[in-house]
Amino acid sequence: MRKTLMSMLLAGAFGVSAVAQAGPVTDKMITDDAKSTGDVLTWGMGNNGQRYSPLTKINTGNVKNLTPVWAFSFGGEKQRGQESQPVVHDGVMFVTGSYSRLFAIDAKSGKELWKYEHRLPDGIMPCCDVINRGAALYDNLVIFGTLDAQLVALDQKTGKVVWKEKLDDFQAGYSYTAAPMIVKGMVVTGVSGGEFGIVGRVDARDAKTGKLVWTRPVIEGHMGYKDGKENGVTGTTNATWPGDLWKTGGGATWLGGTYDSRTNLIYMGTGNPAPWNSHLRPGDNLYSCSTVAIDADTGKIVWHYQTTPNDGWDFDGVNEFVTYTTKDGRILGGKADRNGFFFVIDAKDGKLQNAFPFVKKITWATGFDLATGKPKFVAANRPGDPTKGADGKKGEVVFSAPSFLGGKNQMPMAFSPDTGLFYVPANEWGMEIWNEPITYKKGAAYLGAGFTIKTLDAKDIGGDYIGALRAVDPATGKIVWENRNNAPLWGGVMTTKGGLVFYGTPEGYLKALDAKSGKELWKFQTGSGVVAPPITWEQDGEQYVAVVSGWGGAVPLWGGDVAKKVNYLNQGGMVWVFKLHKG
């Protein structure tokens, strides 16, 4: 009793939990996740997505002593890409693997407690590898989505299925790869499948039962629902879409979202409009390639900001919107978009504050008009209209940068309130892209474009590299420092009050850099490419760091010349856990 009381007093005094909180996961625990240190309850290490830890036991002075504690293999032949961020609660790590698997592991010893392997049907159609990005925790449940577009809730102690809900029809191209998010007792999800002409949306379900509370489509013209009743059409039908194309408009919400309790808004990124051939759909094509801010209680869109209107390059807009507080108390959000620009947006009303490049070569636009929020397009860089080609089958080929794989893709960035910097895993590459005629067919790829990913000339980007971890100042738009990498970066980032930035590379390294200078202080070879974000937590008085290792994702599937450059990399499926060596 005395020990428990002392722990409570210490937690209250310092504003964080220095010990793991046992028992059911509550809404308050999730709200406090960014400040607590004894667990990791959310994707993003806090619903705002900053991926910042207040822990300091591992710091710039001693990180060189970081050593492996244990490693866990996902086993089997199902290696492929491993993009999962683990979550940790009550001494147990929950981590998802490729092919819709979930493992419960003793966080101190690495012993497997149980595993769940979802039975996948034939005919699933994931766009970009058979990956899964993580699970959500609530009450006594661990909840994750599957490649056949289902949402599964398991008992944390036993791994037994408590409830299961179908998100949508996988035979129509729907799938699910993101980590769900818990907001006010609801499990919030998106959908994947933008390359198959699905319609993106955001769903909120009662996390304990799976019952649908509200759903909000993110393509204009589609009806939203709340408590089983109509809840208003999204946007205005045909305002920015021609004909019936809005009915198969894409806009997949495939990366998941963030949430800020101060605004009560869910920030969800939306994907590319369908098809890729932009000449078929003149107009802005709302709300594709946008950040949409949805009221958590009503399920209605409060504001949106579109980063690539009438997208013709598959730039999407799904990248995470990370909220932070300025010195004068404003709540802003940062977003490093696939189109190569970094956006600073007011988190309350969606008004653009700043937009600047975070990669060195951008060909589709020269910048953004801060007054209107619109891009300054380079008209000649839009892929040509195939109906005006010589044979009517292929439009003019253009070279564009970034490539559709993006200045930043699925790999989440981090923000440090100590330095005021965002740490962005960026890539420098381009593509040849052209348009082709296309018609929609249920369950078939709906692109209307062809492409080849290309490396860039070293003269254009100042060196022979593809990936670069960049420290970006959102106030000035300046790149404070960068750490270059030969292969493209595809794993996420974490930063800590100990003055460190952790991230992984496809070459297999987990690295720690000085958050202020970018100097490399430590690295460890995991044996396969790291395409997942690291986490950290405290247990029994010691700070741990963990990351999932396993090369894969979109690059080896769609990477063209770049994929050939890194085809020597081995696949894998491991969780690595580290702590300071005592000696």
Parse the chain into domains and list their residue ranges: 2-497+509-580
Contact 161, 114 (CB under 8 A): no
Question: Measured between alpha carbons, how far is 554 from 560 in angstroms, rounded to an integer?
Answer: 11
Question: Measured between alpha carbons, how far is 59 from 370 in angstroms, rounded to an integer?
Answer: 39
Residues of the chain with pLDDT under 70: 1-21, 77, 583
**For the structural domain made of 2-497+509-580, what CATH number should be given?**
2.140.10.10
Which tokens in the block code for residue 112?
């497997």
The pLDDT of residue 22:
74
Catalytic residue among 139, 203, 314, 316: 314
List of residues 6+ apart from 262 with CB closer than 8 A: 331
The pLDDT of residue 390:
72
Beta-carbon count within 10 A of 498 CB: 21
Contact 416, 384 (CB under 8 A): no
The pLDDT of residue 262:
97
Contact 151, 210 (CB under 8 A): yes
Question: Measured between alpha carbons, how far is 203 from 397 in angstroms, rounded to an integer?
Answer: 38
The pLDDT of residue 479:
98
Beta-carbon count within 10 A of 478 CB: 11
3-state secondary structure of 248: helix
List of residues 6+ apart from 300 with CB closer than 8 A: 216, 224, 231, 232, 294
The pLDDT of residue 128:
82
Strands of the sheet containing 449-454, edge to edge, are 398-400, 430-435, 449-454
Which tokens in the block code for residue 491?
């794993």
The pLDDT of residue 12:
39
The pLDDT of residue 8:
39
Q: What are the tens digits of pLDDT across the range 523-564?
A: 999 999 999 999 999 999 999 999 999 999 889 888 888 888
In whole angstroms, how far apart are CA 515 and each of 8, 95, 359? 31, 27, 20
Which tokens in the block code for residue 110?
């690495």
Q: pTM for the full model?
A: 0.95
Question: Measured between alpha carbons, how far is 168 from 25 in angstroms, rounded to an integer?
Answer: 28
Question: Measured between alpha carbons, how far is 492 from 410 in angstroms, rounded to an integer?
Answer: 8
Phi and psi at residue 87, in whole multiples of 5°? -120, 155
Is 39 a catalytic site residue? no
3-state secondary structure of 279: helix
The pLDDT of residue 482:
98
The pLDDT of residue 31:
96
Question: Measured between alpha carbons, how far is 79 from 528 in angstroms, rounded to an integer?
Answer: 10
The C-alpha angle 268, 275, 177, rounded to 5 degrees, equals 40
The pLDDT of residue 126:
83
Instruction: Render the burial of 22-33: b for 16+ CB within 10 Å, e for the rest.
Output: eeebebebbbbb
Q: What is the SS3 string spanning 57-101?
A: CCCCCCHHHEEEEEEEECCCCCCCCCCCCCEEECCEEEEEECCCE
The pLDDT of residue 443:
87
The pLDDT of residue 20:
58
Which tokens in the block code for residue 155?
């008992």
Beta-carbon count within 10 A of 371 CB: 7
Question: Measured between alpha carbons, how far is 167 from 145 in angstroms, rounded to an integer?
Answer: 9
